[in-house]
Amino acid sequence: MGLEFKELDVRPILAAGGEPFQAIMAAVEELEPGQGLTLLAPFQPQPLYSVMQRMGFLHQVNRLEGGDFEVRFSPRATEVITSDGAQDAGSWPEPTRSFHLSDLAPPQPMVRILSELETMAPGEVLFAVLAKEPLFLFPELVKRGHRWAGNFDSTGTEFRIMIRRGA
Protein backbone atom coordinates (compact mmCIF):
# COMPACT_ATOMS: atom_id res chain seq x y z
CA MET A 1 0.00 0.00 0.00
CA GLY A 2 1.40 3.40 -1.02
CA LEU A 3 1.61 6.54 1.00
CA GLU A 4 -1.73 8.31 1.41
CA PHE A 5 -1.86 12.10 0.98
CA LYS A 6 -4.37 14.60 2.30
CA GLU A 7 -4.87 17.62 0.05
CA LEU A 8 -4.98 21.29 1.04
CA ASP A 9 -5.64 23.97 -1.59
CA VAL A 10 -4.43 27.32 -0.25
CA ARG A 11 -5.13 29.22 -3.49
CA PRO A 12 -8.58 30.43 -2.31
CA ILE A 13 -7.11 31.64 1.01
CA LEU A 14 -4.40 33.60 -0.82
CA ALA A 15 -6.88 34.96 -3.41
CA ALA A 16 -8.99 36.36 -0.55
CA GLY A 17 -5.90 38.10 0.88
CA GLY A 18 -5.46 35.64 3.76
CA GLU A 19 -2.39 33.97 5.21
CA PRO A 20 -2.51 30.15 4.83
CA PHE A 21 0.17 29.18 7.38
CA GLN A 22 -2.29 28.36 10.18
CA ALA A 23 -4.42 26.24 7.82
CA ILE A 24 -1.31 24.37 6.69
CA MET A 25 -0.18 23.66 10.26
CA ALA A 26 -3.71 22.54 11.19
CA ALA A 27 -3.69 20.14 8.23
CA VAL A 28 -0.31 18.76 9.30
CA GLU A 29 -1.61 18.23 12.85
CA GLU A 30 -4.52 16.18 11.47
CA LEU A 31 -2.26 13.82 9.51
CA GLU A 32 -2.20 10.24 10.67
CA PRO A 33 1.20 8.55 11.11
CA GLY A 34 2.61 7.77 7.69
CA GLN A 35 0.33 10.22 5.84
CA GLY A 36 1.59 13.01 3.64
CA LEU A 37 0.19 16.39 2.63
CA THR A 38 -0.38 17.67 -0.90
CA LEU A 39 -0.39 21.46 -0.96
CA LEU A 40 -1.78 23.40 -3.94
CA ALA A 41 -0.46 26.96 -4.21
CA PRO A 42 0.00 29.70 -6.84
CA PHE A 43 3.74 29.88 -6.04
CA GLN A 44 6.45 27.73 -4.46
CA PRO A 45 6.19 28.15 -0.67
CA GLN A 46 9.98 28.23 -0.15
CA PRO A 47 9.93 29.25 3.57
CA LEU A 48 7.58 26.35 4.32
CA TYR A 49 10.14 23.78 3.14
CA SER A 50 12.47 24.28 6.12
CA VAL A 51 9.54 24.33 8.58
CA MET A 52 8.25 21.04 7.22
CA GLN A 53 11.75 19.54 7.15
CA ARG A 54 12.12 20.26 10.89
CA MET A 55 8.78 18.49 11.37
CA GLY A 56 10.10 15.37 9.60
CA PHE A 57 8.83 15.88 6.04
CA LEU A 58 10.54 15.84 2.66
CA HIS A 59 9.05 17.77 -0.25
CA GLN A 60 8.58 17.27 -3.97
CA VAL A 61 7.43 20.10 -6.23
CA ASN A 62 5.40 19.74 -9.44
CA ARG A 63 4.40 22.66 -11.64
CA LEU A 64 0.76 22.45 -12.75
CA GLU A 65 -0.83 23.71 -15.95
CA GLY A 66 -1.53 27.41 -15.56
CA GLY A 67 1.58 28.01 -13.44
CA ASP A 68 0.36 26.84 -10.02
CA PHE A 69 2.32 24.38 -7.90
CA GLU A 70 1.60 21.06 -6.24
CA VAL A 71 3.95 20.39 -3.35
CA ARG A 72 3.87 16.90 -1.82
CA PHE A 73 5.20 16.65 1.72
CA SER A 74 6.09 13.05 2.61
CA PRO A 75 7.13 11.81 6.05
CA ARG A 76 10.83 11.01 6.16
CA ALA A 77 11.68 7.34 6.55
CA THR A 78 12.64 6.59 10.11
CA GLU A 79 16.26 5.76 10.61
CA VAL A 80 17.34 2.68 12.50
CA ILE A 81 18.50 3.43 16.03
CA THR A 82 20.82 1.08 17.88
CA SER A 83 22.36 0.46 21.24
CA ASP A 84 26.12 0.82 21.60
CA GLY A 85 27.85 -2.06 19.86
CA ALA A 86 24.83 -2.95 17.70
CA GLN A 87 25.88 -1.14 14.55
CA ASP A 88 26.54 -4.55 12.97
CA ALA A 89 22.90 -5.65 13.45
CA GLY A 90 22.58 -6.34 9.72
CA SER A 91 24.97 -9.27 10.13
CA TRP A 92 23.16 -10.81 13.13
CA PRO A 93 21.65 -14.27 12.73
CA GLU A 94 17.97 -14.55 11.83
CA PRO A 95 15.64 -14.16 14.85
CA THR A 96 14.79 -17.43 16.57
CA ARG A 97 11.70 -15.86 18.17
CA SER A 98 9.24 -13.30 16.83
CA PHE A 99 6.39 -11.56 18.61
CA HIS A 100 3.70 -9.09 17.61
CA LEU A 101 3.03 -7.25 20.88
CA SER A 102 1.40 -4.04 19.63
CA ASP A 103 -1.95 -4.98 21.15
CA LEU A 104 -0.50 -5.21 24.69
CA ALA A 105 -0.56 -2.26 27.08
CA PRO A 106 2.68 -1.17 28.79
CA PRO A 107 4.53 -2.61 30.61
CA GLN A 108 3.40 -6.00 29.27
CA PRO A 109 5.55 -5.92 26.08
CA MET A 110 8.67 -5.11 28.13
CA VAL A 111 7.93 -7.85 30.67
CA ARG A 112 7.31 -10.38 27.89
CA ILE A 113 10.51 -9.48 26.02
CA LEU A 114 12.71 -9.55 29.11
CA SER A 115 11.31 -12.92 30.23
CA GLU A 116 11.79 -14.43 26.74
CA LEU A 117 15.39 -13.22 26.63
CA GLU A 118 16.09 -15.04 29.90
CA THR A 119 15.29 -18.36 28.19
CA MET A 120 17.40 -17.73 25.09
CA ALA A 121 21.01 -18.70 24.44
CA PRO A 122 23.68 -15.98 24.14
CA GLY A 123 23.81 -14.63 20.59
CA GLU A 124 20.24 -15.59 19.72
CA VAL A 125 18.05 -12.84 18.29
CA LEU A 126 14.49 -11.91 19.20
CA PHE A 127 12.27 -9.78 16.95
CA ALA A 128 9.23 -7.89 18.23
CA VAL A 129 6.67 -5.44 16.87
CA LEU A 130 5.44 -2.91 19.43
CA ALA A 131 2.82 -0.16 19.46
CA LYS A 132 5.38 2.52 20.37
CA GLU A 133 9.08 3.12 20.83
CA PRO A 134 10.04 1.21 24.01
CA LEU A 135 11.93 3.98 25.81
CA PHE A 136 11.87 2.18 29.17
CA LEU A 137 13.02 -1.11 27.64
CA PHE A 138 16.21 0.28 26.10
CA PRO A 139 18.11 0.90 29.37
CA GLU A 140 16.95 -2.46 30.76
CA LEU A 141 18.36 -4.26 27.74
CA VAL A 142 21.70 -2.45 28.01
CA LYS A 143 21.87 -3.07 31.76
CA ARG A 144 21.45 -6.81 31.13
CA GLY A 145 24.13 -6.90 28.43
CA HIS A 146 21.84 -7.21 25.40
CA ARG A 147 22.15 -5.24 22.15
CA TRP A 148 19.26 -3.89 20.14
CA ALA A 149 18.39 -2.19 16.85
CA GLY A 150 15.00 -0.81 15.90
CA ASN A 151 12.89 1.65 13.96
CA PHE A 152 9.31 2.53 13.10
CA ASP A 153 7.62 0.84 10.17
CA SER A 154 6.93 2.85 7.02
CA THR A 155 3.57 4.01 8.38
CA GLY A 156 5.08 5.24 11.64
CA THR A 157 2.51 3.28 13.64
CA GLU A 158 4.56 0.34 14.93
CA PHE A 159 8.08 0.04 16.31
CA ARG A 160 10.14 -2.95 15.22
CA ILE A 161 13.01 -4.12 17.37
CA MET A 162 15.66 -6.83 17.09
CA ILE A 163 17.42 -7.82 20.30
CA ARG A 164 20.56 -9.94 20.46
CA ARG A 165 20.90 -11.84 23.71
CA GLY A 166 24.06 -10.95 25.58
CA ALA A 167 26.39 -13.38 27.37
Please report, as a single letter, which amino acid is at residue 26.
A
Q: Find the mean pLDDT for residues 30-44.
A: 91
Same-domain check for residues 66 and 87: no
Interval 44-99: pLDDT, tens: 999 999 898 888 788 999 999 999 999 999 887 667 889 999 989 989 999 999 99
Same-domain check for residues 11 and 68: yes
Q: Where are the beta strands (DSSP E) in the chain?
A: 5-9, 36-41, 57-63, 69-75, 81-82, 97-100, 125-130, 147-152, 159-164
Q: Find the mean pLDDT for residues 152-159.
A: 73
> pLDDT over 70 for what percent of the chain?
96
Same-domain check for residues 27 and 69: yes
Same-domain check for residues 85 and 21: no
Same-domain check for residues 17 and 31: yes
Q: Domain range for residue 62?
A: 5-75
pTM (2 d.p.) = 0.57
Same-domain check for residues 122 and 93: yes
pLDDT at 41 over 80: yes
Number of domains in the chain: 2
